[in-house]
Every structure is written in C-alpha cells, then in structure tokens.
Structure 1
C-alpha cells in the first residue's frame, strides 16, 4: 500500500497575510480558500510541481504561529530558486551548505546546497538542490 503525504498544516497568526506571502512571494498555487463554518477557514496552497500541499487557516491547528521549522522543498537549480524567491521579495539566505553541522555560505557537494527563508510568522523553510540524476 502507498502512503502519500498530502497536506502539512502550518500555524499562522493572519491567514490573509500568510496566503498573500505563499501565493505571491513563495509562488505557491492557491487550491482553495474555504470557510467551512464560523471560525473555520481552510486555505490550501501547493508549491509548483509538488504532490504535497500546505494548509493555513483558522480553527484548523492549535500550534503557535511560527512554530513549524524544517519544512523542505526540493529544486533542480538552487541558484534559480534563490533568484526567484529574491525577485518576489522573500528574505532568502545566500546559497549555503553544511560543514560539521554548521551552515556555511557558498556551494557544497551534491545534495548539500540550500537556501533558507521564513514566512511572516517565522515558520522555517529550507530549499535543497537535488541532483538531476536522483
């Protein structure tokens, strides 16, 4: 049996601000923005090419806004990803890699090239370059 990760819920303080950030700055597609009942709103967004979406909303999670860290996207070209995020106004780190557990500016070996950013609430994202042969 296949088990597929479909949705990750991201806690945010302001749903409209988060929706705007993920759609306009991170480049995610808005799949739907649904008000189920008073106090429950679900906004689902999907990164381009991803089979997994995120959900932001009200009444959908009790975690503190900004408490999610370590979300990771995979891209074939880290420089292009960095340029796209920066052009959309995202405060994105320079290209970095890991040496002995610490982040160092510049490119590393295959599988070790990243950029990092946070959403407006501080939820943390990494973007990893995945070699095309993988």
Structure 2
C-alpha cells in the first residue's frame, strides 16, 4: 500500500498576502480558492511538478502563523531556482554547500509570516528510491 503525502497546511496571518507570495512570488499553481463560510476560506497551491500541495486559509487550523519550519523543496538547478526567486522579490539566502555530493547544496527563505523553507538541489535520482552519486 502506498502512503502519499498530498497536502500540508501552512499557518498564515494574512491569507491574501500569503496567496500572493506563494502564487506570484514562488510560482506555485493556484489550485483553488474556496470560501466555505464567513469563517472559513481554503486556498490550495501546488509547487510546479510536485505531488504535494500546500493549503493556507482561515478557519482550518489553530497553529501559530510562522510556526512551520523545515519544509523542503527540491530542484534540479539551484542556481536557476535562486535567480528566479530573487527576480520575483523573494529574500533568499546565498547557496550553502554542505558537501560535493549531489544533494549537498541548499538555499533558504521565509514566507511573510516566518514559515521557513529550504530548497535542495538534486540533479539526478536513481530508480527504486536510491540516490545517484
């Protein structure tokens, strides 16, 4: 049986500001923006090429905005991804190299509420879940 991670809830304080950040600055696809009631609105966005989406909203969770830490995205070209983030006005760290192996380069950024994200470069993957080196 497969267990797939499909949605992560990201706690935010200003839904429209967060929607702009994730859709317009990060380039996530806006899947839907649904008002369920006066107290509940759900916005789902998906990173390009990802099988997992994020949900931001009002009336869906009680976590403190900015409390999500350590979420990681993966790209095949970190230099290009970092340049794209900078062009879109995202404050992103310099590239940090932890080792010379594929998967050893990262950048970091926060959303407007302080939720922290990492972006890791993995240029190649093997079949069967094993890393190529």
TM-score clears 0.5: yes
1:20 match? 20
Q: Does 1:112 align with 2:107?
A: no
Q: Does 1:43 align with 2:35?
A: no
Superposition TM-score, scaled by structure 2 size:
0.91
Deviations 1:58-77 (A, max 9, x none): 01110000000001000000
After the TM superposition, which residues 1-134 of structure 1 pair with which residues of structure 2 at under 5 Å, given as runs?
1-98=1-98, 108-134=100-126
- Give distance in 1, aligned partners of 2:69 and 2:125: 28
Confirm or deny: 8 A CA contact 2:102 2:124 kept in the other structure.
no
Where does structure 2 lack aligned partners over 5 or more consecutive residues? 127-133
Deviations 1:90-122 (A, max 9, x none): 0000111337xxxxxxxx432110010000000
Where does structure 1 lack aligned partners over 5 or more consecutive residues? 100-107
Superposition TM-score, scaled by structure 1 size:
0.90
Q: Which stretches of structure 1, 4 residues or more, deviate above 3 A after TM superposition?
A: none
Q: Once superposed, what is the RMSD of the aligned Cα atoms?
A: 1.1
Closer, same or farther in 2 for the Cα pair 1:59/1:50, shift >3 Å? same
- Alignment partner of 1:61: what SS? coil
